Structure 1
């Protein structure tokens, strides 16, 4: 099997120079051209162990889920984000190491990843306080879907999404607007709730406390239970803004089970734009999170932190724009 040492001997350059050329770092075009020619001529395929020795990297990124539903990557939002992250990381030769979801966001998780020698960590949907702190050997870390006190986070503009949702309802003549929120322990849930309240005030609409219901951690069951509470009110809302598509789909289903029409009797707007949203009846109007961009920007930020450990990263927090996707779940009262 051809090794990096063979490439060095064939090209006439040192192992260190060959390693830099293979990783696109700091070598002249002349050296790079000659080394790549040797790679092609000898049919070299990078060996992970040799590459680790040559670069002092494991070329491994740890993936940690800190979500409460316990379904991890099976959640449609997370699965699309991590797939986008994976595609971008693979372009730079990185593999992913998924930590058991049962480990959660604990000190033991960090120690496990430290033992495995990962170059960086991506934490997805962390709840509560950051427990990966107070360690003597920090690993470059980026959080998806929540900001932290430490540098490195990527999340959607949740508040802007709420403003778009309420505005769309108002443009269609709705004033009795309810909100099924995500659990306030979650950053996105809090931000979407704050955005909802801000939007209602912006349009001079009253905020009825019984119109704000906690749907929990973005699951189907939570959306169903929250909607039953709204349907049980003496004066029902004509429109419901739901903090997650899975909850919104459940809310629409239970509304129809109660003999009401969607959207004629009650309109709905979700948040996420998961693939299923366009296939339900009626197709769900929703706030689209750019999952591809979230994954890509998370990878770029983490790789920048990995490659510049001793430097301050230029951008430590990235807020990804959202957009309104109009479908058929909002009825015009005008």
Structure 2
């Protein structure tokens, strides 16, 4: 007999059974009594309950790539953050366990699986179209740290780069180089990070009293190269192009450059491009990509220490925002105008 069997017998989710065992208040009394009666009838031992398990440390950390559209292991930015996180958690004495969010998983939501595997805490990597169960996990008693994802639970915290600073540095660099007609390539409309960068970009353009032309603001489906390529194709086909473009990720920027080359447009002579993340590939593209460096190692280390403190009740959550750095290469020129 286990928690999943109890849930099936009661006709409820594994998460609901876990909440009842942890004395959560958001379960109806009727449901609570039904589940407790089944537990009593089956002789399911309280020693196996989620409440008891939660008091026994496993030294395991759950890793969740959140969202229906998630980055998983294919995004170089998050891979570097996660590598840094993994190394630091190892130093602190923890191993990692990866949670799948594929639809065929039937073992319940993230909170239920975190209880099932008795993880000491979770790190949640931001994606798009967040599942509601992420909120349940955030609001639970399980310590959680979000990466590029703002969490608000009492046992949660998050780390991210300063997205408004990222955009401000881009506009300032464009301005000093003499660019006045500025465009933007972002991810999907429901991407929180892309929206933050776009909002910061818009605000910075307005603060420099530059013209804001929304025709030059286009969006892909995600942060990957193919979306950047498609978005730039859309701009080219519109018949109106800006003089400089900020892409919300390096991969979007690389896709945009590929589209421009196919149309025999030169970077930066015809259009300047700045990306964001400073992934390794930026050093080897033609032209080499000017970008905003996010301190991936620092983000990973901060996430590890914050989660460790939450697990050991040494802090009550919080947030760290890491300052970005402009890395000037060839796709935007390197000489500032005096």
Q: TM-score, normalised by structure 1?
A: 0.78
Q: Distance in 2 between matches of 1:249 and 1:319?
A: 26
**Deviation, structure 1 residue 128:** 4.5
Question: What displacement does 1:137 show?
Answer: 5.8
Q: Render the CA deviation track for 1:77-100: whole Å, top value 9, x for unaligned.
A: 111010000010000110000112
User: How far apart in 1 are the matches of 2:271 and 2:302?
Assistant: 37
Offset at 1:185?
Answer: 1.5
Matches within 5 A, 1:203-218: 203-218=208-223
In the other structure, the counterpart of 1:183 is 188
Q: Does 2:270 correspond to 1:269? A: no
Structure 2: distance between partners of 1:200 and 1:329: 20
1:139 to 137, 142, 148: 142
How far apart are 1:221 and its partner, in Å? Answer: 1.2
Partner of 1:323: 325
Query: What is the correspondence of 1:1-334 to structure 2 with a 5 Å cutoff?
Result: 56-102=56-102, 108-128=109-129, 131-134=133-136, 138-150=141-153, 151-308=156-313, 313=316, 316-331=318-333
Residues 142-177 of structure 1: per-residue CA shift (max 9 Å, x gap): 111021232411111011000001111111110111
CA deviation map 1:177-213 (0-9, x unaligned): 1000122322211110011101100111111111110
Equivalent residue number for residue 48 of structure 2: none
Deviation at 1:312, TM superposition (A): 5.0
Aligned-partner Cα distance in 2 for 1:148–1:66: 12
3-state DSSP class of the match of 1:232? helix
Q: Give yes or no for contact 2:183–2:244 (8 Å, CA) kept in 1.
A: yes
CA distance in 1, matches of 2:158, 2:336: 40
Contact 1:200 1:207 (8 Å CA) reproduced: yes
Separation (CA, whole Å) in 2 of partners of 1:131 and 1:109:
6
Cα 1:208–1:109, aligned 2, differ >3 Å: closer, same or farther?
Answer: same
Equivalents in 2 of 1:147, 1:219: separation in Å? 22
Judge conservation of contact 2:148–2:158 (CA < 8 Å) in 1: yes
- Assess if the C-alpha contact under 8 Å between 2:272 and 2:332 holds in 1: yes
SS in 1 for 2:133: coil
Gap change, CA 1:226 and 1:68, over 3 Å in 2: farther
Count of aligned residue pairs for this structure pair: 277
For 1:321 and 1:149, locate their aligned partners in 2 and report how far apart those are by CA, in whole Å: 22
2:176–2:336 Cα contact (<8 Å) kept: no
Instruction: Tell me the distance in 2 between the aligned counterparts of 1:219 and 1:78.
Output: 13
Give the direction of change, closer, same or farther, for the CA distance of 1:70–1:155 in structure 2 (3 Å limit): closer
Q: Which runs of 4+ in 1 moved over 3 A?
A: 67-71, 126-130, 132-137, 331-334
On the 8 A contact 1:230/1:237 being kept in 2, the answer is: no
Using the size of structure 2 for normalisation, the TM-score is 0.77
Distance in 2 (alpha carbons) for counterparts of 1:184 and 1:120: 30
- Contact map agreement 2:162 2:322 (CA 8 A) in 1: yes
Distance of 1:208 and 1:147 partners within structure 2: 30
Structure 1: gaps (5+ residues) = 1-52
State whether residues 270 and 287 of structure 1, in contact with CA within 8 Å, keep that contact through their aligned partners in structure 2: yes
Partner of 2:222, secondary structure, is coil
Stretches of structure 2 that go unaligned for 5 or more consecutive residues are 1-52
